[in-house]
Each structure stands twice: as C-alpha cells, then as structure tokens.
C-alpha cells in the first residue's frame, strides 16, 4: 500500500487496484479498478457518513445508492428490512 500524507492511499492486489481519498482523516471516496485480465472496469464509490462518522450510505458515480446502512442507538448495525432486500435482489 502507498500512503501519501494522510490524504491518499493506493492498495494494489493481483486482481484490482483501490484508491482511497481522505478528507479530515476519513475515507471519502474509493475508486476500484479491476485489472485488464479480470474485467478492465473502474468503479467509483462515495461514502456518506452521519454526524457520528458512521457510514450510512454508499453511492456510485451517478449518485445512485449502492448500499445503505442503519444503526441502533448503541452503534449496532440493524438488519436490512425485507423491502430493501427485495429491492436489491428483485422479487420472485
């Protein structure tokens, strides 16, 4: 991994390269690029946090929600609702 001044990190593996951009010590954007032998695609993901710094949503480069998270008052992650699961996988 390459880490530059607390603002940028690059992690290279045999199948992908992930770049993480930090603001205020927290990851704000991750960009994952697959190697050409795998698919040759690049995905950009934006991390959205609540007032406590917990990630509550991940969106793609177009602003569409990729994943959402919810936490109880003690910080434990809540289970996804049936509606959100159906939205992700589709109804039978």
Q: Note the pLDDT of residue 87.
A: 62
Q: How confident is the model at residue 7, as a pLDDT?
A: 80
CA–CA gap between residue 8 and residue 77 (Å, rounded): 28
- Its pTM stands at 0.55
The one-character DSSP state at 53 is S
**What CA–CA distance (Å, rounded) separates 33 from 56?**
23
* Cα 39 to Cα 32, 43, 56, 84, 92, distances in angstroms: 12, 11, 29, 28, 29
Q: Name the strand (E) or helix (H) holding 33.
A: strand 26-34
- The domain segmentation of the chain, as residue ranges, is 2-89
> Per-residue pLDDT for the chain (92 aa), expressed as one digit of tens each?
666 777 888 888 877 788 888 777 776 677 676 655 555 567 778 888 887 778 888 888 888 888 888 888 888 887 766 656 666 666 55
């Amino acid at each position: 991994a390459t880490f530059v001044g607390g603002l940028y990190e690059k992690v290279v593996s045999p199948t992908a390269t992930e770049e993480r951009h930090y603001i205020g010590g927290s990851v704000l954007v991750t960009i994952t690029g697959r190697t050409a032998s795998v698919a040759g695609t690049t995905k950009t993901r934006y991390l959205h946090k609540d007032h406590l710094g917990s990630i509550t949503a991940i969106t793609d480069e177009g602003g569409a929600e990729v994943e959402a998270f919810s936490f109880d008052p003690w910080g434990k992650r809540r289970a996804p609702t049936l509606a959100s699961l159906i939205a992700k996988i589709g109804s039978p």
